[in-house]
Amino acid sequence: MKRRNFLLAAGAAMLPATTLTRVMAETGHEHHNEGDATPGERTEQGYMPVHTPNGWTLPYEMNNGVKEFHLVAEEIEHEFAPGSVAKCWGYNGTTPGPTIEAVEGDRVRIYVTNRLPEYTSVHWHGIHLPSGMDGVKGVTQPPIHPGETFVYEFELNQHGTHMYHPHADEMVQMAMGMMGMFIIHPKDGEIEPVDRDYAILLHNWGLHPGTRTPDPSIMVDFDLWSMNSKVFPAIDSLVAKTGERVRIRMGNLSMWNHPMHVHGVSFEVTGSDGGRWPREQWRKETTEIVAVGQTRDIEFIAPPGDWAFHCHMTHHTMNPMGHGIANPLGVDQSGIEEEIRSILPGYMAMGEHGMADHQDHTDGGHMPGPENTLAMGMGHGPFGNIGMGGMFTLIKVRDDLEPGDFRDPGWYWHPDGEVAHKVSDDPEFGSPVRRGKLADADSEKLPTPDRDAHGGHGGHGGNGGHNGHDGHDH
pLDDT above 50 (res 4): no
Model pLDDT, residue 368? 64
pLDDT band, very low/low/confident/very high, at 362 (cuts 50, 70, 90): low
**At a CB cut-off of 8 Å and minimum separation 6, what does 129 contact?**
154, 155
- Domain 238-398 belongs to what architecture? Sandwich (2.60)
| Average pLDDT value for the chain | 83
Asked if the domains 3-193 and 238-398 are classified in one and the same CATH topology, the answer is yes
pLDDT above 70 (res 419): yes
Quickly count: other Cβ atoms within 10 Å of residue 409's Cβ.
16
Domain boundaries, the chain: 3-193, 238-398
Model pLDDT, residue 29? 52
- The per-residue pLDDT for range 189-214, each reduced to its tens digit, is 898 999 999 999 999 999 888 889 99
Let me know if 186 is exposed, middle or buried by CB neighbors in 10 A (0-12, 13-18, 19+). Answer: middle
- The per-residue pLDDT for range 15-57, each reduced to its tens digit, is 444 444 444 444 445 556 544 456 678 888 889 999 999 999 9
Dihedral of alpha carbons 319, 320, 326, 332, sign: negative
Model pLDDT, residue 350? 63
Q: What is the pTM of this model?
A: 0.80
Model pLDDT, residue 9? 42
Geometric angle at alpha carbon 464, from 458 and 470, rounded to 5°: 65
pLDDT above 80 (res 351): no
CATH number of 3-193: 2.60.40.420
Model pLDDT, residue 78? 96
* Distance (Å, whole) CA 49 – CA 38: 9
